[in-house]
Amino acid sequence: MVDGSHLTLGDNILYTKSISSLAHAKGLLVEAELGRLSGSEDGMTVEEYEARFTDVAQPEEFIDETSIDALAVCIGNVHGKYPPSGPNLKFDLLKDLRALTLKKGVSLVLHGASGLSHELVKECIDLGVRKFNVNTEVRNSYLASLRKPEKDLIQVMASAKEAMKAVVAEKLRLFGSCGKA
């Protein structure tokens, strides 16, 4: 995952192209990001006013120049928790982005998918999203399991691991990924 979303388009292309070249030389797939999600991730917060939807004028050049395999887009998705009003995803934008990435053979990715309803996830899948990041839900299940009293550290760790596995298993079913590896 190459995240140059904080850079200008030109700098993002140069940065992503260099990483893509190194990764592809090792037979690795490359995911990159266009647009900028608001919210908090890994100790960094992007304020709502700093967020940018993915511009439909950019993916074609970006993909051609960087040779990426997957494109993470911003259609109103956020890192961390959604506001009390809930998610406000721009499905028309997602349709346009899918049309562009489909002809380039690039998969669509949605970061900030924690907290999306099953209906919203299904609609995103129908519109071409092939990978979802749900880190907040997995982390929250781990933390919630730590709040349950256990007798010793081994039980606490086992409980936390099982809580995370349950979220991952549920998401694999929701995303339609079971039995496809």
What are the sequence ranges of the domains in the chain?
Answer: 9-133, 135-181
pLDDT attached to residue 104:
95
Contact between 28 and 21 under an 8 Å Cβ cutoff? The reply is: no
Residue 162 or 43, more confident:
162
- The answer, yes or no, to whether residue 152 has pLDDT greater than 90, is no
d(CA 106, CA 131) in angstroms, rounded, equals 12
- The answer, yes or no, to whether residue 49 has pLDDT greater than 60, is no
Residue 93 or 52, more confident:
93
Mean pLDDT of the chain: 90
d(CA 68, CA 21) in angstroms, rounded, equals 9
Residue 83 or 32, more confident:
32
pLDDT attached to residue 44:
59
- The answer, yes or no, to whether residue 53 has pLDDT greater than 90, is no
- The answer, yes or no, to whether residue 129 has pLDDT greater than 90, is yes
Which residues, listed in sequence order, are joined to residue 2 by a DSSP beta bridge?
A: 32
What are 135-150's pLDDT values in tens digits? 889 989 999 998 887 7
Q: Does domain 9-133 have CATH number 1.20.140.150?
A: no
pLDDT attached to residue 81:
84
Read off the DSSP letter of residue 76: S
Helix 59-66 crosses helix 9-25 at what angle (to 10 degrees)?
A: 40
pLDDT bin (cut points 50, 70, 90) of residue 45 is: low
- The answer, yes or no, to whether residue 60 has pLDDT greater than 80, is yes
